[in-house]
Amino acid sequence: MADIADGEQAQMQGSGSKPYILKNTGGVYSCSCPAWRNQSIAIERRTCKHLRKLRGDAAEDARVGGSAPPARATRPKSAEGDAEESTEKAPPLLLAQPWENDVDLTDWWMSEKLDGVRAYWDGKRFWSRLGNEYMAPEWFTAGLPDFPLDGELFGGRKRFQRTVSVVRRQDKSQDWKELLFVVFDAPGVEADFEQRLERCREWLATAKPAHAQWHPHERCQGTPHLRAELERVEALGGEGLMLRKPGSRYEVGRSHTLLKVKSFKDDEAVVVGHVAGAGRHKGRLGALEVELRNGKRFSVGTGFSDAERGAPPPVGTLITFRYQELSNDGVPRFPSYIGVRIDAAPFPVKEKPKAKR
């Protein structure tokens, strides 16, 4: 059967007048047909009849892990009322709450918030928040323990989208050499955070896995210390800080024992359209039209690389963006694109998405 080389595209005529565009971007295959766009699963798990016709059923089944999308379960609503979708295999992860300057963080454990991809090591394999397996090479996982670890697949500051492109690949490529598994907890150890932290540190110091390391923590000495460290990390291109309550246990779901501290806010939105570029961006993406969970729509026009403008996230994709504040009518001000979310499922939009290329 035919295939599409990485970074290339192909055309296939459908029932309409215009052919559908099939692409391979870093091992993730996409199609411009509605059947591919409207699937509410991670984009690397989507397929359609056009991709199957081009690549063959066997190749597509091997790539997406079966002939049909995995069944999904819905988690109970959090304290904020937001339901988080996941697959039935979703790992039991602790999730952070934002710090609202309402808690004294003196003596809490402080670490840099990494700009990577959350990963749960179950003792054999890596899993995303949604329960999708990350196909890490055997040489990458060599030396990791047979007990669970919580951490981040990290390719360095300001390299989030590159990290995403590596972990989405299904071919266990050499690109994984660009990443480290940075460990910050041991969920299976029934003990306080300090004891779990020490268990991880001792294991990694003894086993010395080539592609994993412990994430350093320090005690927060008060708000001035917190602000100074936040300024230092953000000046280096870091995303922010994570604060962990002393003596806390590992909880499943969002907890106020784990807080994230950032100068800028961030949120998620679903891509509902593409706005054509002008000037130097003519013939490429100008902005993404996106929709928030509450139905608010707006455009995100900054934060893209030239490559991302040439091959923007398809309609139906869940993205992360950064912004300063909300306007009086609830629209994010000065939104800037961060990247595609591969560890969370797109939520239903209020209206049918429309491409506007």
Nearest alpha-carbon partner for 337 in 352, 321, 353: 321
> Which amino acid is present at 82?
D
Q: Which residues contact 90 (CB under 8 A, 6 or more apart)?
A: 73, 75, 127, 129, 130, 131
In Å, what is the CA distance from 246 to each residue of 59, 92, 100, 242, 255? 49, 21, 19, 13, 13
Region at 7 (left for phi over 0; alpha for psi -120 to 50; beta for the rest): left
Q: Which residues contact 282 (CB under 8 A, 6 or more apart)?
A: 276
> Within 10 A of 314 (CB to CB), how many other CB atoms are there?
21
> Residue 124 in contact with residue 144, Cβ under 8 Å?
no
3-class state of residue 357 by DSSP: coil
| DSSP code for 229 | H
Q: Strand 212-214 and strand 180-185: pairing?
A: parallel
Q: Which residues contact 1 (CB under 8 A, 6 or more apart)?
A: 54, 55, 56, 59
Spot the catalytic one: 18, 49, 77, 113: 113
> Which amino acid is present at 206?
T
Q: Which residues contact 317 (CB under 8 A, 6 or more apart)?
A: 43, 270, 271, 340, 346
Beta bridge partners of 29: 24
Residues 215, 246: Cα–Cα separation, whole Å: 16
Sheet holding 240-244, edge to edge: 94-98, 253-261, 240-244, 109-113, 218-219
- Taken in order 314, 319, 325, 327, is the CA torsion positive or negative? positive
Residues 46, 69: Cα–Cα separation, whole Å: 8
* Active-site residue, 113 included: yes
Q: Which residues are catalytic?
A: 113
